[in-house]
């Protein structure tokens, strides 16, 4: 007798809210594909930032990077939180997600032109991502009466925001940066407005895992960028020792960032204070973790170019592209995972103090090495200070 499969594949299912307390809620293969495609956009943004910094256009590069990275991050964030609460895994859901991926890849292809001030392709990819999510929210509103009011608010708010982004293309160049800031605030207000009506059933463990996976992706981009820079620098004769030393310092820096982020489970903060403010601040605050980690890769490439003599910047100017994002990363992890009032005072104090010292390392003869040593020392401090303490589950 042939054994029947335990789950029958159907092309359409009603989109219902998932159980917030569901056991073994892990990332799906479709979510992993989504992340994999978005890493292309992250890599393009970091590469464009590196080129802007190398050409001495720091202000323009940082501003453009912040704007481009928002489009990448916000598209990823909205899909991740939606998929945590609703995931039918039927044919329409998969197709809509693939459309969002196509939009993300379009955003990736538009990074270079966006850095040059042409946002047409960037807006096209971004709007494609967001309108596909509007379709998902309308499905949820139709299928799940319990969340209909919130789902409709999401759909209306997101659709209205896309009208603004399309209009953004016709704004004068001098108004684009302030208008961008206003539109970002409006976009980020949509979940707050929608969740006030009735909160969605996102899963704390699943959300923490999704954010952790994206952190790994960004750190992987840092390693890839630094490796490529060292490979290119190795072609310059007489710099082998300096490059090996800098590569070792970069690895220590990345390893330390990984350790410090994952030392405290992300879901512990979400479970300890399960309020809308906590979830929103935790979710939104990760913009600074993701963006700063991606920027570290660009900074290390600048440092390699400086050490090989192919970049004519002063020592401090070449160090700041690495030390500033590392300091931002430490402060962001401190605020989101540790907390200024953490019961372990050495850790609560150690993160901000180390961030300040990392910035001060910019003025030393070997800033990347000093910053890596400080980050590693903070890891040692966390290990010693938490030895024997129970870990949150």
Full set of structural domains in the chain with CATH: 29-197 (no CATH), 204-385 (1.20.1410)
- 3-state class of 329 per DSSP? helix
- Number of Cβ within a 10 Å radius of residue 316: 12
The predicted-structure confidence for 182-226, as pLDDT tens digits, reads as follows 999 999 999 999 988 777 888 888 898 999 999 998 998 888 877
pTM of the model: 0.90
- Mean pLDDT value across residues 109-119: 93
Contacts of 260 (CB under 8 A, 6+ apart): 330, 333, 351, 375, 378, 379, 382
Binned at pLDDT 50, 70 and 90, residue 267 comes out as low
pLDDT at site 3:
40
- Residue bearing tokens 């019961």: 343
Q: Say if CB 313 and CB 61 are below 8 A apart.
A: no
d(CA 189, CA 275): 16
pLDDT band, residue 278 (cuts 50/70/90): confident
Closest CA to 330 of 350, 316, 344: 350
């Amino acid at each position: 007798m042939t054994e029947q499969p335990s789950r029958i594949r159907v092309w359409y299912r009603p989109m219902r809210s998932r159980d917030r307390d569901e056991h073994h809620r892990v990332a799906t293969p479709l979510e992993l594909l989504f992340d994999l495609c978005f890493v292309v956009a992250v890599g393009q943004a970091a590469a464009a930032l590196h080129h802007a910094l190398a050409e001495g256009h720091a202000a323009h590069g940082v501003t453009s990077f912040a704007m481009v990275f928002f489009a990448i991050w916000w598209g990823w964030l909205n899909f991740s939180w939606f998929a945590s609460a609703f995931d039918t895994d039927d044919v329409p859901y998969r197709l809509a997600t693939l459309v969002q991926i196509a939009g993300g890849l379009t955003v990736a292809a538009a990074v270079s032109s966006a850095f040059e001030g042409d946002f047409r392709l960037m807006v096209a990819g971004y709007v494609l991502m967001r309108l596909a999510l509007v379709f998902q929210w309308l499905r949820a509103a139709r299928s799940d009466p319990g969340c209909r009011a919130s789902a409709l608010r999401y759909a209306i708010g997101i659709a209205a925001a896309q009208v603004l982004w399309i209009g953004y293309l016709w704004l004068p160049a001098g108004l684009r940066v302030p208008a961008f800031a206003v539109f970002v605030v409006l976009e980020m207000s949509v979940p707050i407005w929608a969740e006030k009506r009735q909160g969605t059933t996102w899963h704390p463990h699943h959300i923490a895992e999704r954010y952790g996976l994206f952190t790994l992706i960004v750190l992987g981009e840092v390693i890839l960028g630094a490796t490529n820079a060292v490979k290119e620098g190795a072609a310059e004769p007489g710099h082998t020792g300096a490059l090996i030393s800098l590569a070792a310092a970069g690895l220590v820096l990345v390893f330390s960032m990984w350790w410090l982020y994952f030392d405290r489970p992300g879901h512990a903060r979400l479970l300890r204070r399960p309020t809308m403010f906590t979830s929103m601040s935790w979710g939104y605050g990760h913009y600074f973790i993701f963006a700063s980690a991606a920027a570290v890769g660009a900074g290390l490439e600048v440092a390699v170019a400086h050490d090989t003599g192919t970049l004519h910047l002063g020592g401090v100017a070449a160090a700041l592209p690495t030390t500033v994002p590392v300091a931002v990363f430490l402060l962001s992890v401190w605020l989101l995972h540790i907390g200024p009032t953490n019961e372990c005072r050495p850790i609560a104090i150690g993160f901000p103090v180390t961030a300040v010292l990392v910035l001060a390392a910019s003025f030393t003869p070997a800033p990347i090495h000093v910053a890596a040593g400080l980050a590693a020392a903070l890891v040692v401090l966390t290990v010693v200070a938490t030895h024997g303490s129970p870990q949150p589950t």
